[in-house]
Amino acid sequence: MEPRKQIFTQKEKKTFLEILKGYSKVVENKHFNSSALKAKNIAWQKITAEFNASPHTQLHRTPQQLRRLWLNIKHRHREEFAKKKQHIPIGAVADLSRNNVLQIAQALMAEIETSADSDIAIDKLTNQSETSIFLSDDSQNTSVQETPAFMAVKMEAMSPISVRYNADVSTPMVDENPLDVPSNVQKDNFLNEEDKTLNESMDLGQLEIELLRDKVKAQRQESKTREAHSAAIHELECQILKEKLREAKAKADLAELSLRRQQYRDD
C-alpha cells in the first residue's frame, strides 16, 4: 500500500515544473466539460510518464500524486506571496500591483523553478520597486520641498490604502478599503474546487477504464464463441468424412465379394 505522504526532493520538483511548463495551458484550463477533463487526464498521464522516465526521479509516481504536488505548490506559494505583500511598504505594493502583476504571477505559478527561486524572484521585484520609489522621492526633494498636503496627494495616488491628513488634526485618516489579502476561507474554497475537479477527472478516468474492460471482456467472449463454433463444425466435418470412408470401404468390400462370386460361377 502506498504511503499517505509523498516526499519529493528539490531536484524532483524542478524536473516536475520543467515538464509541467509544456502542458500548463491544458492543466490550468478552467473548463469542466468532458473534452476538457479528458484532455487533462491525457496531459497528466504524459507528464507522469516523462517524470518517471527522468533520471532525476527516485521513485515511481502516479498521476494523482503529481496532481497533489501541484496543488500543494500553488497553495504554498499563494500563502508566501500574501505574507510578503503584508511586509512590503505601501508604495512598493502599489507599484508591484500596477506594473509587475504578470511577472509575479509567472514567478509564483507556471514559471517557478523551486521554492527558493520563487522567493528570490519576488524579493528582486520588491527591491527594484522600493529602489525606484526612493530614487523618485530623492529627486523630487532636491528640487521642491513637499508640503503635507502634497504628501497626502502623493500617498493617495500611490497606495491602495490612501492616507489623508487633516489640517487641524495630526492623526491620519485611513480609508476603509484595505489591501485585499486571500483569506483562509478563499484558500479552502479554491482547494475544494481543485479537489472536486481532481475527483471528477478521476471518476471520468475510472469510467473509461471500466468501459474498456467491458469491451475487452465482450471481445474475449465473442472469440470463445467463435472458437467453440469452429470446433463444432470441424467435429461434424470429421464425422462426415468418417462416414464417407466407411461407406466407400463397404462398397469396395461388396465389389470384391461380387467379383469372387463371379469367378466362382465361371469356374
- Whether residue 36 contacts residue 86, with contact meaning beta carbons closer than 8 Å, is answered with no
Query: Within a domain: residue 64?
Result: yes
Alpha helices in 100-183 (DSSP H): 101-108, 115-143, 148-158
Quick one: which of 161, 142, 138, 141 has its CA closest to 150?
A: 141
Query: Within a domain: residue 57?
Result: yes
* pLDDT score for 92: 53
Total structural domains in the chain? 1
Query: Within a domain: residue 22?
Result: yes
* pLDDT score for 210: 85
* pLDDT score for 58: 84
Query: Within a domain: residue 26?
Result: yes
* pLDDT score for 19: 94
Query: Within a domain: residue 222?
Result: no
* pLDDT score for 101: 38
Query: Within a domain: residue 249?
Result: no
* pLDDT score for 125: 43
- Give the pLDDT of the chain (267 residues) as one tens digit per residue: 444 566 889 999 999 999 999 998 898 888 889 998 999 999 999 999 999 999 988 889 999 999 999 999 988 888 877 777 776 665 554 444 443 433 444 554 444 444 434 444 444 444 444 444 334 444 444 333 444 444 443 444 444 443 343 434 444 444 444 444 455 667 677 777 777 778 777 778 888 888 888 989 899 999 899 999 899 999 899 999 999 999 999 999 999 898 888 888 887
163-164 and 173-174 as β-strands: parallel, antiparallel, unpaired?
antiparallel
Query: Within a domain: residue 58?
Result: yes
Query: Within a domain: residue 77?
Result: yes
Burial 222-259 (b: 16+ CB within 10 A, else e): eeeeeeeeeeeeeeeeeeeeeeeeeeeeeeeeeeeeee
In whole angstroms, give the CA distance from residue 25 to residue 41.
Answer: 13
* pLDDT score for 255: 92
Cβ-defined contacts of 199-202 (< 8 Å, 24+): 200/32, 200/37, 201/37, 201/40, 201/41, 201/44, 202/64
Q: Which residue has the cell 500591483?
A: 97
Return the C-alpha cell found at 45. Answer: 498521464
Structural domain including 55 reads 10-87+101-108
